[in-house]
């Protein structure tokens, strides 16, 4: 039997990540965590009020309606920024 030499080893992959990807991820997490907590607490409060007194919830609905964009828009932006930061890391 003839021993064939082993093929040369491939260079190890770079750890990935760049400053822009890290910044997008960090800013996204700074937006995502507080707005997610705010959305969760507000949602639980609305559900509790729905079970407690549905008539009062219906009467106060115009006051509650601005809660939706105030919490959902930063939550969505945070999700988008986190995904962009992670995707920029995977592209390398």
60-73: per-residue pLDDT in tens? 888 888 888 888 89
List of the chain residues with pLDDT < 70: 1-4, 12-17, 90-92
Model confidence pLDDT, tens digit, residues 74-85? 999 999 999 999
* pLDDT value, residue 4: 65
3-state secondary structure (DSSP) of residue 5:
coil
Model confidence pTM above 0.85: no
How large is the greatest C-alpha to C-alpha distance in the chain, in angstroms?
88
Contact 82, 21 (CB under 8 A): no
Backbone angles phi, psi at 36, to 5 degrees: -65, -40
Q: How many residues does the chain have?
A: 92
Measure the CA–CA gap between 44 and 82, rounded to whole angstroms: 25
């Amino acid at each position: 039997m003839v021993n064939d030499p082993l093929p040369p080893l491939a260079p190890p992959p770079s750890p990935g990540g760049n400053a822009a990807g890290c910044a997008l991820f960090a800013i996204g997490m700074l937006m995502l965590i507080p707005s997610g907590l705010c959305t969760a607490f507000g949602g639980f409060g609305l559900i509790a009020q729905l079970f407690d007194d549905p008539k009062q919830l219906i009467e106060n609905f115009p006051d509650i309606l601005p809660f939706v964009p105030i919490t959902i828009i930063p939550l969505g932006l945070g999700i988008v920024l986190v995904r962009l930061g992670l995707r920029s890391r995977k592209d390398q």
